A and B are shown apart, each in its own frame.
Chain A
């Protein structure tokens, strides 16, 4: 089932944090999901449904966002996994309507622990739009070609000046 499957995956992805050399020396921080055998716990069943706390030092990169978005889309049962590409449009190629887009947005909100308002989710046409939106939200710009304000600007300025001269 969709909801429990990707809830499990989000929990596991928050546990297994990449151990980079720059992190301080401590063990991986595991959240308890099993019943604790401490008798003093008033409600042991609360531990089973423990909601993982969002860690603020998660480092967002473009491949991570892209793979998570594609995973959430693949887990959606109305999307054919083989037909799903980065640029496949939801309405035309995959045959989804606005209700499905809302459902996908809700799943993405659960995955990325953020809110996506309706004004933004109305403009999602391809998965690439979603990934770009999330990159903008988390300030990920390593996949964007840097625009240098040097040579190209000078050439454009020269061309514009020449056009102004001729008119």
Chain B
């Protein structure tokens, strides 16, 4: 179970994000201050709730790192939205005909930055089945 230290770290991070959402000022688009504040608040609520059940200590540590990374990036670049990434440069795009082995998925997971850890990637296939991995 999560010990008290990690629990208090998680709660402190959550409180820091909520306070940030109260005092956020949008620099690039000042008219969007309210929108960005709402975005910060809703993102923290949904992502923290989504990952509430995580038990593994290493995963938990990485999720805390993800939260702190997003706070630092948002404060530094004055932009709360995460910078999205594409496929790694050396990989092939997904297509129906090609079999993707597990190692390819693992490499793609490892190459994604830490601040996008909680986001799911969905493969766009025109078939009925849509594999999605967290």
A interface, CB within 8 angstroms of B: 1, 3-4, 7, 45, 49, 97-99, 102-103, 105-106, 110, 118
Contacts and interface: CB of A to CB of B under 8 A. Distances in A.
B15 A106 contact: yes
Contacts of B12: 118
B14 A3 contact: no
Contacts, number: 35
Interface in B1-38: 7-8, 11-12, 14-15, 18-19, 21-22, 25, 30, 34, 37-38
A102 B14 contact: yes
Nearest to A106: B18
Interface residues of B, number: 20
A103 B11 CA distance: 10
20 contacts: A1-B38, A3-B21, A3-B37, A3-B41, A4-B34, A45-B30, A49-B25, A97-B52, A98-B7, A98-B11, A99-B14, A99-B49, A99-B52, A102-B11, A103-B18, A106-B18, A106-B19, A110-B22, A118-B8, A118-B15
A106 B19 CA distance: 7
A110 B42 CA distance: 19
A1 B34 contact: yes
Which DSSP category, helix, strand, loop or mixed, fits chain A's interface?
A: helix
B8 to A, nearest CB: 6
Interface of B: 7-8, 11-12, 14-15, 18-19, 21-22, 25, 30, 34, 37-38, 41, 45, 48-49, 52
Given A99-B11, A99-B45, A103-B14, 10 more contacts: A1-B38, A3-B37, A3-B41, A45-B30, A49-B25, A97-B52, A98-B11, A102-B11, A102-B14, A118-B12
A142 to B, nearest CB: 31
Contact of B18 (A1, A97, A102, A118): A102
Contacts of B37: 3
